[in-house]
Amino acid sequence: MIAYLTRRLIQAAFILLGVSIITFALLYLLPADPVRQIAGRSATPQTVESIRQQLGLDQPFIVQYWRYLTNLLSGDLGRSYIQRSEVTELIVSRLPASLILMVGAILCELAIGLSMGLIAAVKRGSATDQTLMVGSFIGVSAPQFVVGLLLLYVFAVQLGWFPIGGYGTWRHAVLPSLTLGILGAGWYSRMMRSSMIDVLRQDYIRTARAKGLARGAILFRHALPNAILPVVAMIGIDIGLFMSGIVVVESVFGWPGIGQLAWQAIQRVDIPIIMGVTLVSACAIVLGNLLADIVAPFIDPRIKLR
């Protein structure tokens, strides 16, 4: 186990290094000149050059990257070009909001996805099954921007059940969590359905049925725990899905998380923030996958770590 963990962590370090090199190189190759952006349109060429030197942007790529990397190792992600604040401070101040949104989204996708999958599996082949699967297909394929605005319009503007965007109370969190969760719910309902169908075909279920156990007891005590575990083990992998989703969802709902920070930074070509958010997201995805892999054998003994 320890050997496995060590190996995986070393792999993770290399993945993150790779991500940092690729992102840094892509941003370096961008035709936008950050110095011109900082210096503004009335700057003299002299000012432009002086700023370039101060930021070290006149150095070759390797030197710039090396300096970024060494600063990174001491926890310094640099200063935003546009906002002029520490990138670490900006990310740390926005991380709690994104985490709350993720927890909310996980709750939503599990609640919706698992129950839809369960019902569909039990009613396999029926009209209910087909309706639910069409619903899940829509959930998977509907653009989150549209889903978000639709929910906002119906539940916040028309019905007035929830606030129109913003952050603060649990009521603010419902619609964005739901928007982010609907995509995952689509996947989970499909996984849950097949997993449940699989379990319901097992011999021990047939035995339980033969023993005359009540339908509900078979379903909830014997089938569900076995069907649910492999599905739940996927949550770690969802983090990657969330990281792309929060950019859209946070912007629609005015949710002050790192997705919104990234979106603004991309629009303004604020390279240090784009770098910082990319690295933090990459960390989260790598850790999420690692977590999913580590948890899997505990949940499903057929899986072994090697």
Q: For binding to other proteins (CB under 8 A), which residues are involved? A: 30-33, 36, 38-48, 50-51, 54, 79, 82-85, 89-90, 93-94, 97, 149, 152, 156-157, 164-167, 250-257, 260-261, 264, 267-269
Question: 164 vs 229, which CB is nearer to other proteins?
Answer: 164
Question: 89 vs 300, which CB is nearer to other proteins?
Answer: 89
Question: 256 vs 297, which CB is nearer to other proteins?
Answer: 256
Contact, 199 vs 227, CB < 8 A? yes
Please state, as a whole number, how many other Cβ atoms lie within 10 Å of the Cβ of residue 302: 8
Minimal distance, residue 79 CB to other proteins, in Å: 7
What's the CA gap between 224 and 231, in Å, rounded? 11
Minimal distance, residue 162 CB to other proteins, in Å: 12
Tokens of 20: 């940092």
Minimal distance, residue 71 CB to other proteins, in Å: 15
Contact, 193 vs 125, CB < 8 A? no
Question: 19 vs 51, which CB is nearer to other proteins?
Answer: 51
Question: 124 vs 268, which CB is nearer to other proteins?
Answer: 268
From the CA atom positions of the chain, what is the Rg in Å? 24
Minimal distance, residue 160 CB to other proteins, in Å: 8
Minimal distance, residue 48 CB to other proteins, in Å: 8
Question: Tokens 């005590």 correspond to what residue?
Answer: 221
Q: Is 155 helix (H, G, I), strand (E, B) or coil?
A: helix
Question: 6 vs 53, which CB is nearer to other proteins?
Answer: 53
What's the CA gap between 112 and 107, in Å, rounded? 8
Q: Helices (DSSP H) in 222-270: which residue ranges? A: 224-232, 235-253, 258-267
Minimal distance, residue 268 CB to other proteins, in Å: 8
Minimal distance, residue 41 CB to other proteins, in Å: 6
**What are the CB-based long-range contacts (under 8 Å, 24+) for 172-178?**
172/253, 172/255, 173/100, 173/101, 173/104, 174/104, 175/148, 175/151, 175/253, 176/101, 176/104, 176/148, 176/249, 176/250, 176/252, 176/253, 176/255, 177/101, 177/104, 177/105, 177/107, 177/108, 178/108, 178/151
Question: 174 vs 192, which CB is nearer to other proteins?
Answer: 174
What's the CA gap between 87 and 44, in Å, rounded? 28
Minimal distance, residue 62 CB to other proteins, in Å: 24
Question: 118 vs 252, which CB is nearer to other proteins?
Answer: 252
